[in-house]
Structure 1
Amino acid sequence: MNISDINNKRSILVSSVLLRSFLVSTMFLPFTVASSYAQSTEEKTPKVRQNRMLEEVVVTAQKRAENNQDVPISVTAFSEDTLDALGITDPQDLQRFTPGLTYNTAVGFSIIYMRGIGSDAFLMADPSVALYIDNVYFPFAQGLAQSFGAVEGIEVLKGPQGTLFGRNAVGGAISIHSKNPGTEPEASVQLSYGSYGTNSVRLHGSYPITDSLAASLSAFKGGSESYYDGFVDGGKEIPDDESDGVRVKIRWDVSDDIRLNLAGFTYNSSGPGSLLTPNSEPGEVFSAVIEGEDGYTAEFDAPVDQTLDNEVYYASVEWALDAFDVKLLASTQLIETSYSYDFDGTSSVLVTFDATNQYAEVDTAELQILSNEDGWGSEWLSWIVGAYYFESIQGFDPTVLQIANLDLSAGTAAGIPLPPLLVDTIASVGLIPSGKVALRALIGTESIAGFFQSTIDVNDWFTFTVGGRYQEENREVIKSSSELENPNGEGIYIVNFSDGRNDTTYSFKPKVSLDFRPFADREFLLYLSYQEALKSATYNVVTISDEPDYVLPEELKAYEIGIKSEWLDGRLRLNFAAFQYEQKNQQVQFVSAFQGGAVSFENAGGSEVDGFDFDATVQVFPSLINDLIMTASGAYLNGQFTDYTGARGYNEDTGLVFEGGEDGDYSGNVIPRTPEWSATLGFNKSFFFDRSVIEVGSDIYYNSGFYYLPQNTAASYQEEYHVLSARISYLYEPWNLRVTAFGNNLEDKKYTDGLFQTDFGVLSHLAKPVTYGLKVNWELN
């Protein structure tokens, strides 16, 4: 039986189980359900004694506060209480509760796919799912899997969001809202300890200094031992992972109409993290000298460690006028990182990367002009117009590739053929190489955009939305060079490219949405939408022997039909969306040390994704059991390349690189990191007593399996898996003190968190095994 037959049978089984679970759960009524996320209102709703999974949903998916059920966008939203109830502590946890979202990490980078749209953006390109923190765009994939700290809520916006969220939101956006200064004093402390010495401390405080001025401070610090056994640097103990961060916010009501918000934060981390990628399946050429690692064992000859320092400062001005509101936002970011990485993933001395100076400098500014309730036509018209500016420099200066076992007579290094230009350069100058190649690669970006979106209520049951974004973006090669050193530290350039090559992309991407509310006595929204989005072009500037080449921008067309509904007097919420995406020039990453670029991208001609997803919230046996809430969600994705020829890859017999040819035709292959099925089923029960609450929760996440590489090799396939988690907490209400015991991956399932292939074989990083822990939350407000 082949993989296709297995997947077809699995699809039928999973769909049957989900459908039966949903139908059975909806039979037991009545009950009361609101929703799961309330953010962007400064004044908090007074707490009531109810299950924490039952909260009103307010989102800012359209740059203004709206009920999620009224927004014609597929959004999964989490409030602060919901995040705590579900045990979500960092962005990767969102995958378990957002079917259709794949959130992996590899060599310190976050790799995010949403509904089959994404990029393995390790270096020198941008993720296809945009990340926002407090409305500030974070364009780079490194360090994004960081602890949340104290937050108000999180929104996961599915599908392209190019009109309002801008550049590179072709797959969607994740918007994190940290806690704002309040009008009353408040403080909170969270302590956590678990398996493998995992520990964290999170503090938050807010204080109104005057009637018009308030400030808040949030801080966290955490760390853990490695769950891998083994050594690094030829015998040293694997170092611990550590991180810390501080965020300060100031809110000043300058007048009744003007508010100034200032904020800044630092985030620092160190440790190997997902750089621990042992070679699990060596290529045939190296199988005699390299023994693959199986399980949680990692042995490296090189030091494997990473440090990351991130400083961000941002500000906003909000001005409420009679006819409209004005918002001005600005930010500046500095990201500095260094790391050492064992490229071959073994204890043999073969190839090592040392990135001693990788950095990014980013400046952004955004102007928004929004309609308000007092403006002309507010009864039937809402609109937003704006402008956006982005400027950045990113790259290495330098990173060092250390190559061992050079054999110039054979033109090889560690048994792998060297690029001819490298061999010819060495021979022409009579250089005795040390095996050290210094790579310098810097890209500059400048982008400016204008956008608008208008929503017209034609009548009580029909609404029309139209929008668009015009963007001009210039990418420039600032530096691209490679230099081979001899044992005395002297060297010669192999490539030294600095002629200022650049390219400007001009684009206009529209959006149209038709919204229908056919039932006057029922919360029911039917929407149809069409929109286009663009992901920025880039250059392959990390190169050993080639000049940088241009990588085309990605373009996406998206069609979606969705339903947001509440049934039986609001006692059942069911949201559903079906979609079709047509993508052109998808940027696909390829990793090879000796094929002209250490990390490079190529364009797949075309790809398509068809699918649907849903989420439902119900109460089980309400006539017998109070406050037992079931949540069910799932996604089906059929994603494949429709045109992808001339691709690079690895020979499945030898493991060596090939360039194009018949073997490089991936048309019809499944898009990487795109499981056919993913689903989550969860239960949460609250027991209310006179002065306390006991809460019990459990969830199971299912993934039908996916390929990590567009080549769809057997070695790059992650088999189906499921993850079971559970929590139980005790809240003593007079003290606002909650103690939670939790367990994750309770069945100790072994599955990968990241995988990619190099010239030496398949390198993979396993997700955490079974873990247990205890968490304490205390709040004063």
Structure 2
Amino acid sequence: MIKPLKNFLPLAISAVIASAATAQDLVLEEVVVTAQKRVERLQDVPISVNAVSGAKMEEAGITNLEGMTAYVPNLTMNQTGIGTIIAIRGISSGINQGFEQSVGQYVDGVYYGRAQLARAPFMDLERVEVLRGPQSILFGKNSIGGAISMVTAKPTEEFEGQVTALYEPSHGEKDLRVVLSGPLTDTLSGRLSLMGRDMDGYYENTTLDRDESGDKEQVIRGQLKWDASEDLTVNLKLETGSFDTKGRNLEPINATELPGGTPYAAILSVLIGGQYALDTEQDFKRQSNGDYSNNNTENATLTIDYALGEHTLTAISGYNAYDYEEDCDCDFTGATIFTADSREDFKQFSQEIRIASPGGETVDYIGGLFYQSSEMTFDDAIRIPSNSLLPIALAGPSSPPSLQAIAPLLANTSSQRDFTQDSELWAAFAQVTWNISDDWRLTAGGRYTTEDKDATRRQYHVAGGMEQPTGTPLPPNYYNILYGLFKIEPYQPIADNRSEGKFTPLITLQWDITDDIMLYATYTEGFKSGGFDVRSNAHPDPAVVNATRGAEDLVGVFEYEEEQAKSFEIGSKMTLADGAAELNIAAFRTQITDMQTSQFDGVLGFNVTNAGEATTQGVELDGRWLVATGLTLSGSIGYLDFVYDEFPNSQCYFGQTSNSATNPGLCDLKGESREFAPEFQGTVSADYSQPMGDNLEWRITGDVNFSDAYYTSPTLDPNLKQDAYAKLNLRLAVGSQDGMWDVALVGKNLTDESIATFGNQLPVSTTLTGGTGTAYYSFYERPRSIALQGTMRF
């Protein structure tokens, strides 16, 4: 089914050209973006950009960034057990709270660089622009893979309002949104946006007899727009929100063992004194003793636009803060083994000042200064409950007598970690366009960034409510011996600071071949700053030996270096059939060096390394066609070829024989692709509407989202590979012709595809089987759902 869909868009565009003579009176509505900090037609911007309107997101029931990825090729977002991964063209950051994000998020021009904020719900947006490739000048802050720019709807000069409600019975989803906007005085207007959303979930937790994950989201946003004079406009936005979940959308799958090995399920069965089954196939059921994630956000943005003669001076002040508390039953089974909890508190202030020339001159330019400071505190803990099966397993008859004697000490203990980081960043940027002639334009830009970071981290064990000494892994430091089995080493606080500066250039050449066809070529460089590893479970100095795992000296990571990219892109934007159709195409090649990766240590921890080098290249194609009045076809497709040029120190997947020439315990992935990098990915859409009688209109919108196969685990484990799929979404609506109301049925994933978004080994599964068996877990997207949606506008 996938291959015919890959060919659909080029054939459709060919049909557009062939039918140009019959489309003389049809013209597509223009799409306007601010990808270059100016209001421009999408067809004039020399960047690979996808713009998704707020109306499309409402109709498709897109409530967050994860839901939008189906409509933007080469964009993926995946939740994991302890983090969130966003990727563009295969470029992403791993699982670590210390990482800057490879894909920068911006809301009304303010940088939202923390991965946790990617889970925040969408509400009352004008549009979302996805810019692919390094955005190193006008966005700048670490956006080495691309940028996601979200633009909220602004106060209006005329009074308007909207109420939208949605109900989906199968998974208990209820969504209510209210918007009021209009003038308050002759010069002051306001907008109030409210959202409340609840969902029981689509997983059955058979341990707790409840549906998961139970989502609860709330957002309140208020905006004021003051037209102080003809030259001065001030916009203030204040927002507070929360997004909480109970449970997780994952389940254990594919338990396996080596020849003659011990099945993980058999170990659990012995420990609980009864049969314990791990699923061999996906069934939207899980066993867990309870998980939750409670998140609170607040932000304020003040935007000032001042007409300085023919120039525009813009100042954006942003405050962004969030905190969360999570508890993870991270053995991902109903057995009582261990839990992991974490808390993070983050605050950020930023100030951008830029000036832009009026545009349309021989030389157009934009430039400015940027400042950002942030503070983060993070702590987490691995906790072994008093009734945990882990001490029982370690005291089993196959364990050495010395371990049998001390294993019971693990009960009612924890290993805890504290981390802090302060950051301060300054940047200056400029971009200049020389309009050489009516047909040729040359753009050059540069940004210089300097950033300072200070961080501290410590690891410690707690037993009986008291912190235990560090010291060597010898008696009486039994906790160091026991936690060393899980590659966890306690140590006194370590602290460090780092400063780095980087210049990133851009050069673009544009050629208007005709009034309707533009060709461009771009070279740019990007970087993602280095930092400090939050989640490493051991001291970075091999001379500090407070715990070992057998004969293995545990060595962790604290500081890691910056990641760099060099990117080439050529593309064309074409308006066809006298404005009835558009076709955009981009081909790219990006080389990445000193890749920052977060590698699972096979037990409980992750270590950050600058792993090696990679090349990602491909082609992106998107188009629209207004076939006839009321009928629009659109589609987009991305081809991606991601290859590791160097990656000698990847973790091997279970049962894999090491092929590393430098470390027999690791695997070399040179020449391989990476996770979340399908070769083809895209969507095909049709929108058709017709009047019914004098006052009514019916409308049907259909989308087919498709993807080639891809790996869901960073180890490229074949047990965790998602097959190719195509899923159908359909919306059937009836409403008034003046658009004041409509009622719709919204169907998602009507083909009921099982789509895995992330997978890995079950923590401690290999440890409890003595390395002879393991099991896996995987996150899955929502299955088929059909909701009733109603909208009233006034």
Partners of 1:306 and 1:86 in 2: how far apart?
A: 26
Tell whether 2:574 aligns with 1:575. no
Partners of 2:176 and 2:528 in 1: how far apart?
A: 38
The residue correspondences of 1:406-485 to structure 2 (distance < 5 A) are: 434-478=412-456, 480-485=457-462
Q: Which residue of 1 aligns with 2:137?
A: 163
Question: Does the 8 Å CA contact 1:126/1:536 hold for their aligned counterparts?
Answer: yes
Question: Does the 8 Å CA contact 2:96/2:534 hold for their aligned counterparts?
Answer: no
SS at match of 2:579: coil
Structure 1 spans left out of the alignment, 5+ residues? 1-9, 36-53
Tell whether 2:225 aligns with 1:230. no
Equivalent AA in structure 2 for residue 211 of structure 1: D
Q: Which residue of 1 aligns with 2:573?
A: 564
Tell whether 2:104 aligns with 1:130. yes
Tell whether 2:167 aligns with 1:180. no
Partners of 2:82 and 2:748 in 1: how far apart?
A: 22
SS at match of 1:769: coil
Question: Does the 8 Å CA contact 1:739/1:774 hold for their aligned counterparts?
Answer: yes
SS at match of 1:500: strand
Q: Which residue of 2 aligns with 1:6?
A: none
SS at match of 2:652: strand
Partners of 2:525 and 2:52 in 1: how far apart?
A: 27
SS at match of 1:196: coil
Post-superposition offset of 1:124: 2.2
Question: Does the 8 Å CA contact 1:198/1:222 hold for their aligned counterparts?
Answer: yes
Partners of 1:649 and 1:450 in 2: how far apart?
A: 43
Q: Which of 332, 356, 376 lines up with 1:370 in the alignment?
A: 356
Partners of 1:734 and 1:318 in 2: how far apart?
A: 34
Equivalent AA in structure 2 for residue 576 of structure 1: I
Q: Which residue of 1 aligns with 2:703?
A: 699
Partners of 1:25 and 1:416 in 2: how far apart?
A: 72
Instruction: Pick closer, same or farther for the CA change 1:459–1:56 going to 2, 3 Å.
Output: same
Q: Which of 599, 602, 607 lines up with 1:590 in the alignment?
A: 599
Q: Which residue of 2 aligns with 1:770?
A: 784
Instruction: Pick closer, same or farther for the CA change 1:78–1:735 going to 2, 3 Å.
Output: closer
Partners of 1:267 and 1:409 in 2: how far apart?
A: 43
Partners of 2:197 and 2:641 in 1: how far apart?
A: 39
Partners of 1:301 and 1:220 in 2: how far apart?
A: 30
Given the two structures, how large is their TM-score scaled by the length of structure 2? 0.86
Partners of 1:127 and 1:296 in 2: how far apart?
A: 33
Question: Does the 8 Å CA contact 1:151/1:178 hold for their aligned counterparts?
Answer: yes
Tell whether 2:45 aligns with 1:31. no
Equivalent AA in structure 2 for residue 581 of structure 1: T
SS at match of 2:421: strand
Partners of 1:610 and 1:416 in 2: how far apart?
A: 50
Partners of 1:402 and 1:126 in 2: how far apart?
A: 31
SS at match of 2:616: strand
Q: Note the alpha carbon deviations across 1:610-637, whole angstroms, 9 max, x for none.
A: 10010111234x4xxx322111211111
Post-superposition offset of 1:683: 1.0
Equivalent AA in structure 1 for residue 469 of structure 2: I
Question: Does the 8 Å CA contact 1:588/1:601 hold for their aligned counterparts?
Answer: yes
Q: Calculate the aligned-residue CA RMSD, in Å.
A: 3.0
Q: Which residue of 2 aligns with 1:605?
A: 612
Q: Which residue of 1 aligns with 2:734?
A: 730
- Amino-acid identity (%): 25
SS at match of 1:328: strand
Partners of 2:136 and 2:785 in 1: how far apart?
A: 39
Post-superposition offset of 1:407: 5.7
Instruction: Pick closer, same or farther for the CA change 1:109–1:186 going to 2, 3 Å.
Output: farther
Q: Which residue of 1 aligns with 2:384?
A: 402
Q: Which residue of 1 aligns with 2:508?
A: 513
Q: Which residue of 1 aligns with 2:664?
A: 661
Q: Which residue of 1 aligns with 2:234?
A: 260
Post-superposition offset of 1:108: 6.8
Partners of 1:119 and 1:716 in 2: how far apart?
A: 20
Partners of 1:734 and 1:63 in 2: how far apart?
A: 33
Partners of 1:661 and 1:435 in 2: how far apart?
A: 34
Question: Does the 8 Å CA contact 1:229/1:296 hold for their aligned counterparts?
Answer: no
Instruction: Pick closer, same or farther for the CA change 1:231–1:136 going to 2, 3 Å.
Output: farther
Question: Does the 8 Å CA contact 1:593/1:758 hold for their aligned counterparts?
Answer: no
Instruction: Pick closer, same or farther for the CA change 1:237–1:71 going to 2, 3 Å.
Output: closer
Deviates more, 1:14-23 or 1:727-736: 14-23
Instruction: Pick closer, same or farther for the CA change 1:651–1:239 going to 2, 3 Å.
Output: closer
Q: Which residue of 1 aligns with 2:723?
A: 719
Partners of 1:615 and 1:303 in 2: how far apart?
A: 43
Equivalent AA in structure 2 for residue 730 of structure 1: V
Instruction: Pick closer, same or farther for the CA change 1:680–1:432 going to 2, 3 Å.
Output: closer
Question: Does the 8 Å CA contact 1:405/1:413 hold for their aligned counterparts?
Answer: no
Q: Which residue of 2 aligns with 1:491?
A: 468
Q: Which residue of 1 aligns with 2:486?
A: none
Equivalent AA in structure 2 for residue 515 of structure 1: Q
Instruction: Pick closer, same or farther for the CA change 1:745–1:578 going to 2, 3 Å.
Output: same
Question: Does the 8 Å CA contact 2:422/2:454 hold for their aligned counterparts?
Answer: yes
Equivalent AA in structure 1 for residue 458 of structure 2: S
Instruction: Pick closer, same or farther for the CA change 1:18–1:575 going to 2, 3 Å.
Output: closer
Post-superposition offset of 1:109: 4.0
Q: Note the alpha carbon deviations across 1:273-314, whole angstroms, 9 max, x for none.
A: 6x3432223463524235433324444443211100011112
Partners of 2:235 and 2:751 in 1: how far apart?
A: 46
Q: Which residue of 1 aligns with 2:250?
A: 277
Post-superposition offset of 1:688: 2.9
Deviates more, 1:107-116 or 1:439-448: 107-116
Partners of 1:675 and 1:180 in 2: how far apart?
A: 37
Question: Does the 8 Å CA contact 2:23/2:578 hold for their aligned counterparts?
Answer: no
Equivalent AA in structure 1 for residue 468 of structure 2: G
SS at match of 2:267: coil
Q: Which of 77, 84, 98 lines up with 2:51 in the alignment?
A: 77
Post-superposition offset of 1:734: 5.1
Partners of 1:380 and 1:415 in 2: how far apart?
A: 80
Q: Which of 481, 487, 502 lines up with 2:497 in the alignment?
A: 502
Q: Note the alpha carbon deviations across 1:186-216, whole angstroms, 9 max, x for none.
A: 1111111113111110011113111111111
Equivalent AA in structure 2 for residue 333 of structure 1: N
Question: Does the 8 Å CA contact 1:539/1:550 hold for their aligned counterparts?
Answer: yes
Post-superposition offset of 1:476: 2.1
The residue correspondences of 1:297-446 to structure 2 (distance < 5 A) are: 297-355=284-342, 357-372=343-358, 378-402=360-384, 404-405=388-389, 434-446=412-424
Q: Which residue of 2 aligns with 1:43?
A: none
Deviates more, 1:275-284 or 1:696-705: 275-284
Post-superposition offset of 1:524: 1.1
Partners of 1:474 and 1:413 in 2: how far apart?
A: 50
Post-superposition offset of 1:96: 1.7
Given the two structures, how large is their TM-score scaled by the length of structure 1? 0.87
Q: Which of 536, 548, 573 lines up with 1:543 in the alignment?
A: 536
Partners of 2:155 and 2:411 in 1: how far apart?
A: 59
Post-superposition offset of 1:25: 5.4
Question: Does the 8 Å CA contact 1:262/1:314 hold for their aligned counterparts?
Answer: yes
Equivalent AA in structure 2 for residue 678 of structure 1: Q
Post-superposition offset of 1:559: 0.3
Question: Does the 8 Å CA contact 1:406/1:435 hold for their aligned counterparts?
Answer: no
Equivalent AA in structure 1 for residue 194 of structure 2: A
The residue correspondences of 1:514-533 to structure 2 (distance < 5 A) are: 514-519=509-514, 522-533=515-526
Equivalent AA in structure 2 for residue 207 of structure 1: G
SS at match of 2:134: coil
